[in-house]
Amino acid sequence: MTNLFPRGFRALIACTALATVPVAAQAEQFINILTGGTSGVYYPIGVGLSKIYADGIEGARTQVQSTKASVENLNLLQQGKGEFAIALGDSVKYAWEGNADVGFAAPLDKLRGIAAAYPNYIQIAASAESGITSIADFKGRAMSVGAAKSGTELNARAIMGALDMSYDDLSKVEYLPFAESVELMKNRQLDGTLQSAGLGVASLKDLATSVPTTIVSIPPEVADTLGAPYMAATIPAGTYEGQTADVPTLAVGNFFLTHEGVDEETVYQMTKLMFENLPELVAAHQAAKAITLDTALDGMPVPLHPGAERYYREVGLIK
């Protein structure tokens, strides 16, 4: 067949055709947010952040993963199986050092910081009918101390040790997430539960509205014994139904983290959008009221990610 078009014209048509091929869409940015059990505080905070990031980062596809919280989250970050995680400060410190006794076989050197978050309050609830009013009263009784080697369980071990107690002093130890612990208490199979979470955690609200409950105090001097990152704190009266007085306890700071493999622009956007949308996080859970830009760098146990550092330089927090 005779070609009716001169060679130069055929080349022009070819170039025009290439020019009209649509440019490939920007590659999706997958952001997996590692949280905790669905009845804790990490999970609703993660859901709030997921929406903020999905709406604010072009091409972002977000997912909220329920986990056993701090220790699992940190190990998953090291493996590159998440882009954002929440974890307790003592767990982060142990992870960076590589403390095998608490679940870190080697130092997790890929962890990078985004921001200090809000404090976890160590909240110990006992059934009123048990008569338990102090930690010493748990001797010979049954208690859930959180999922094995979770941040909550590490807190339980540390606090009991500071009071010259151990799990051997209990009649039964259960290693259960918050909601399951509460269900056993409702069924009179446990005398108490220790939960490390933001104030007003859903599981303890559920417990206190279901059965008469005592919020057990922790002596402030325990914070002096344990040292940083533990600090004396108070669970204000009225936090849970039937709680008519302030209850002394301890608190441990939480941190928002990522890993070195997440690109700088993504972490910059995650940091910026979080602080620009704090009211949305507070709507997700009241614990987020304690997240502030002024305290974003307080006590950070690992190096900052360059993307987070870029944001803090932009707003003048780092000179």
Do 112 and 261 reside in the same domain of the chain? Answer: yes
End position of a domain, from candidates 200, 219, 251: 251
Residue ranges in the chain modelled with pLDDT below 50: 1-26
For residues 87 and 140, state if they share a domain: no
Q: Sign of torsion, CA 204 205 210 211?
A: positive
Residues 115 and 262 in one domain: yes
Give the percent of the chain with pLDDT over 70: 92
**Residue 1 belongs to a domain:** no
Beta strand 230-235 with 192-197 is unpaired
> What percentage of residues in the chain have a pLDDT greater than 90?
87
Residues 240 and 145 in one domain: yes
- Asked if residue 19 belongs to a domain, the reply is no
State how far the Cα of 169 lies from the Cα of 137, in Å rounded to an integer: 10
* Of 236, 251, 266, the domain-final residue: 251
CB 199 within 8 A of CB 235: yes
User: Same domain for 190 and 142?
Assistant: yes
Q: Judge whether 16 lies within some domain.
A: no
Check residue 27 and give its pLDDT. Answer: 61
pLDDT digits (tens, 9 = 90+) for 137-185: 999 999 999 988 888 999 999 999 999 999 999 999 999 999 999 999 9
Whether residues 73 and 124 share a domain: the answer is: no
234 in a structural domain: yes
Q: Please check whether residues 241 and 289 belong to one and the same domain.
A: no
Domain count, the chain: 2
pLDDT 10s digits, 203-240? 999 999 999 999 999 999 999 999 888 999 999 999 99
Do 226 and 262 fall into the same domain? no
Q: Which tokens in the block code for residue 109?
A: 């050197």
Q: Is residue 13 a part of any domain in this protein?
A: no
How far is 151 from 161, CA to CA, in rounded Å? 15
Residues 172 and 213 in one domain: yes
Question: Using CA atoms, how far apart are residues 140 and 98, in angstroms rounded to an integer?
Answer: 34
Same domain, 115 and 125: no
Decide: helix, strand or coil at residue 20.
helix
Domain that holds residue 296: 29-119+253-314
d(CA 297, CA 308) in angstroms, rounded, equals 10
Which CATH number covers residue 216?
A: 3.40.190.10
pTM of the prediction?
0.83
What residues does 123 pair with on adjacent strands?
195
